[in-house]
Structure formats: C-alpha cells, structure tokens
Chains A and B, each alone.
Chain A
C-alpha cells in the first residue's frame, strides 16, 4: 500500500512533484505518464502576474543549484482560467502553491482558489527570492502564525504550509503554524545562499541572494523533517535534495507522510518514476505492506 492520506486528501502514492520545478505539469506530461505521481504542485502562484527576476537565474554549485526565478507566474486568475483545466486532465492530485506579499494578498488568492477544484493549497511563506516578499513571513514564527491564522480562516481547502529552512527556529516555526491552523506542513524550501563572480567582483545574482536546492541540502533538510515530525501531530511532507528511492525512504523514516521531488527532475526528467519504483522494490524486499509501517520509524 503506497497511498497516503494527508489532511483528508488521498494520494495514490507519496511522490509529489515540487513547486517551481514542474511548471503546471504539461511539459513533463509529454515525456511520461504523470498520472503515476501522487500529486503535482503548481509553479508558485501570486495574486497578480509576476515577470520574475532580472539577470542570471540559475547557477550550479557542487551537489546543488542556486535559483533566482523570482516567482515568475501568470497570476492566480490566469492559472485558474488557462492552466488548471489542462492540469485536471493529467489524472493526478493538484496542489496549488500560493504566496503573497501581504496578508490581504494571501486572503484574496485563497478565496479565488477556494472556488476551484484544486485538491490542496500549499502556502508559500518561504520564497527567498522576492524583495519584501515571502521571506519575512517564513523567518519569524510569530509572523508566520498570523499569516497562517488569517489564511486558514478563509481557506476551504486543506491547507499545507511550506516552511523555509531559513526560519529562526524550525521546530518553533512548525509549532506556530500548527497553532495557526495548518492542516499539514511541507519542508524544506530552498536555503538562502549566494555566489560571487570573482572576475566581475560582485554577486552572480542581481538579487544578490538565491535559493540553494539539490543533494547538497539533503542531510540538513532530513534533520529538519526529523525534528519537525517528532514535534507536531499533523502530517509532514518532506523535501530537500531527494534524488533516489533511498533518499525518499529516509524522509519517510524521519516521519514524512510524503515527499516532494524538485531539482532531481532536472537531473533525469522521469526520476519521480524511478524513485517510486525504488520504494516499491524496497517495500517488497523488506516485507513492508503499508508505507505507514516505516513512517517515523527512525
């Protein structure tokens, strides 16, 4: 049994494509049958369309990559009108990732998404790319609490809050998001990081900072998922540098109900299927009948 229930939503398996790495699913669906995924998380949405950041947007580092896309997206209204109908035909659950710059934007966006058939909302309180943007909400748990409480009060969908590893105290952050009414937590988003071009003698990104993802962050992400899973009693979705079934199983053993796969999609476009079949093989070999048997076992 691979299916998992998170906040009342039944996912056929615990493999979820992570926000920002999978577009709205269309591109990958021309390479493989994405209905085999547990869910697809949308590109990070905002209330209004965003052009994203200027200049270089990606820089590879040992075992990882920095991105500075800056939430380029068509806005929640065009998502609902144009992308969502096509996404619904992909045959898997849809998690709408939504972020705002103000509490008012969060409320307006959620009210629009309430009227759609997205299966879940992932609240982005952690994108580190946008000046005056998500970062402030995701660093201080008292501020995150306010956003989550307001979001929850108007949200008619299961609400998953995506945590930033840049939080001052990840466990306290998780606690306060629970208090605010989160139905589930996903973690971790990218780590605030930078690179300097020694020939130009300045940061490589116009925004100076960018978000680090990929295998380089996995052990740190795993530790955070382990600590948070032990501390809260709502489902946790783990992510951060997962590139193999072994990595995914580690997150599940650390307490995650499901995992999200992000950067790894760039390494091999159908890697989610490899991870899924690897988990199945592991379960067969180890005599595990239900994935929940190993959840949090470590």
Chain B
C-alpha cells in the first residue's frame, strides 16, 4: 500500500461557487482518479478527518473540490493559505482507467463532479461525454471542457442547461461504459437506467468514514458479494454489485 500521513500547508482555499470550495496544496502527490484523501484541520474539533476525492493532480500540486455540508467541511472551508492541514492518502480503489475503453459517459450529480476532472484527464477513451446535474449554480465544468467531447447540463431551477434532473436527460444506450458519482438516489437511478440498456457502469460511493484505511468498518457498502469497505474496497464499485440503502 502506498498511502501516507503528512502535514501540509494550504496553498489556496477559495469558494468557487456558493458553498463549494477548491483547496490546493503544493508538492508531489500520488493518486489515481476516484481515490481520495482524508483531510483534517488541526485540533480535536472536529474530531475526525473528512474523506475528500482527488479533484486534480499536477506535477507539483493537488486540489480538492468539496461542498460544505456539515461541521467538518465548514472547518475545512475556513482554512486560510499558510495554515496546516493533516492529510492521509491516497486511499481506496479508484477507477481502473486502463480497462475503460470505447465511447464513455461520465454522469455526475452536484459535488459528484469533484473526481471527474482528474478522471476525464486520465481516460483513454475514443469519445467522452459529460452529463452534469446541479441544484442551481453550475461549477467545476470549465476545466473539463478540453477533456470532453460534449457536455450536457441540467439544473433543478433551470438557470443553466435543461431544467430537471440529469438522470432525466441521460440515455445510456449509445455508450460502452458509464462512470458515475453523485447523491445515492441519483446513482441508484443511473445504475437502473444502465441495466435496462445493459451498459456497464462504475459508481463512486460516498459514506461517512472514520479511519479511511479499512480498519473500523463504519463505511460499509452492502454489495452482492457481501459487505465491502467503501474506503478500502471502494469507493469505486461496479454499479450492479451495489445494494442500495436509499
């Protein structure tokens, strides 16, 4: 295993959309698309680190895109340039880009867009279409334009793209493979759609975690092969294997 615990200095942490932050660290970082790091601010409050997927890795930089949803991410969002951040990673099993071929579709819901930049950059597919759904504001799309052949957007209020949910405009029939990250209900629906057309789909699961390395068993994902640890056996699973909580 190749993960490390380190203390890093925040390079940049800015709000790029309402409640959506991009945090960057300088230095050499490892990781494959779909993997994540556990991020923790200094001290005992909040107590636990938060699992945040790799948004992008450059030669001398890593970035994370995250949504402020609770106390942990609120504290993360308050970090300023020059402050300390404890990181543990890269963790988990990401997307196997070597085995993803042909015409591919990425479908994301909300902050599920976060791992898709690094994924689209690393995919070696013939065609790549992005379907991204948001509640109101659209974010994280611009950087992806040069790695995708076509982008379809939906917002729930209709401000940008088609009004409605992304699953309403997505038809998997013309794709060889689908890669998905978003709210559990959205992923469940997408898996169901793909099943109807017999198109394989990989989903990146999100669960509350504690250790991040497979020891504590709080992030269990139920699958057809039994309980799996989202942090270590996932977060990327074959869609048809997942037994959904939602």
Contacts and interface: CB of A to CB of B under 8 A. Distances in A.
Note whether A and B form a binding pair.
Answer: yes
Interface of A: 20-23, 27-28, 30-31, 43, 51-52, 54-60, 62-65, 67, 69, 72, 214-215, 243, 263, 265-270
A153 B220 CA distance: 37
The 7 A-B residue pairs whose C-beta atoms are closest, nearest first, are A23-B215, A58-B218, A57-B218, A30-B1, A27-B213, A266-B210, A27-B215
B44 A243 contact: yes
Given A28-B213, A43-B217, A266 B48 contact: yes
A56 B220 CA distance: 9
Nearest to A267: B47
B3 A72 contact: no
A56 B208 contact: yes
B216 A60 contact: no
A27 B232 contact: yes
Contact of B215 (A21, A57, A65, A243): A21
B86 interface: yes
Nearest to B226: A51
A262 to B, nearest CB: 10
Contact of A60 (B47, B211, B212): B47
A67 B214 CA distance: 15
A54 B245 CA distance: 9
B211 A265 contact: yes
Contacts of A28: 213, 215
B208 A57 contact: yes
Given A27-B215, A57-B217, A67-B218, 19 more contacts: A20-B217, A28-B213, A28-B215, A30-B3, A31-B3, A31-B4, A51-B226, A54-B222, A60-B48, A63-B45, A64-B47, A65-B210, A67-B210, A67-B216, A266-B211, A267-B40, A267-B44, A269-B213, A270-B5
Nearest to A24: B215
A21 B5 CA distance: 17
B44 A58 contact: no
Contacts of B86: 268
B209 interface: yes
Given A31-B3, A58-B210, A269-B88, A215 B47 contact: yes
Contacts of A265: 211, 215
Q: A-side binding surface: helix, strand, loop or mixed?
A: loop
Nearest to A262: B216
A12 B2 CA distance: 29
Contacts of A20: 216-217
A269 to B, nearest CB: 5
Interface of B: 1, 3-5, 40, 44-49, 71-72, 86, 88, 208-220, 222, 226-227, 232, 245
Nearest to B50: A60
Given A58-B210, A60-B72, A63-B44, A31 B5 contact: yes
A57 B217 CA distance: 8
Nearest to A61: B47
Nearest to A17: B215
Nearest to B71: A60
Contact of B217 (A31, A63, A72): A72
A21 B216 contact: yes
Contacts of B227: 51-52, 72
Given A23-B215, A27-B213, A59 B44 contact: no
Contacts of B215: 21-23, 27-28, 265
A118 B158 CA distance: 63
A95 B88 CA distance: 27
Among A23, A51, A54, A265, max chain B CB count under 10 A is at A23
A58 B208 contact: yes
Contacts of A56: 208
B133 to A, nearest CB: 22
A113 B74 CA distance: 46
B5 A269 contact: yes
A57 B231 CA distance: 14
A147 B66 CA distance: 49
B211 A69 contact: no
B74 to A, nearest CB: 12
A266 B211 CA distance: 5
A191 to B, nearest CB: 15
Contacts of B88: 269
Nearest to B214: A27
A269 B219 contact: no
Contact of A69 (B49, B217, B245): B217
A31 B214 CA distance: 12
Contacts of A21: 211, 215-216
Contacts of A65: 47-48, 210
24 contacts: A20-B217, A22-B215, A30-B1, A43-B217, A51-B226, A54-B245, A57-B220, A58-B218, A58-B219, A60-B46, A60-B48, A60-B71, A62-B45, A63-B44, A65-B210, A67-B210, A67-B218, A215-B44, A263-B47, A263-B210, A266-B212, A267-B47, A267-B48, A269-B5
